[in-house]
Structure 1
């Protein structure tokens, strides 16, 4: 009986993990599609992009990156490049990193930036994009 219960619990946990992974994959795919549409709209509108910088953990300095795009958060901790790739723009920076610059790895974008953080620190991806280019989702005529 104990083995049967343990096997059922293990299977239930596996199924739950698969559902969570599938839901996260769907959210990431939706966010990736939003970013791709935004990048096209930004290019069509001639929205100026800039070189993105990485911030050190705890606000300790900044470092150059080779990335060009737009900051998605006002605290400049997330950005999207001109090709639609999402980056978290924070990293553990050494003094050498601050001098030479850093390479950041792309991340799968969330639909809510800063979810699970402090109250008021999260923002929907669509709202962040609307702040950069109001009306970007409106169909062009």
Structure 2
């Protein structure tokens, strides 16, 4: 009887200790981390050729995404650029660019993932982009 009581107490204490050690990470934080990782893979396939691995772009051809005032100022505009493409002159970080970016043909989830990655990289403002945000901009110019 004494062994059973001691075993029960040990299980209760162990269970209590384990419950205190469990992380208190919010689900949304985990999802954002996963989205950024997925976004990095998408970036590597669709964006890296023009905007480069470090987000610096190509001088006089393709604008930087790193510390980009254009990007950080308006997330909805950034979403629309990825969805619809962009042509014509833009000024990014004080420099003018006049090239074309085609629509990338990505799903709402892929756009959210790649922009979450870009916003969490290279000194940008860490905006979390959701598929719902992308869906709201789809079809808008």
Q: Judge same fold: TM > 0.5, yes or no.
A: no
Higher strand proportion (structure 1 or 2)? 1
Higher helix proportion (structure 1 or 2)? 2
Greater Rg over alpha carbons, structure: 2
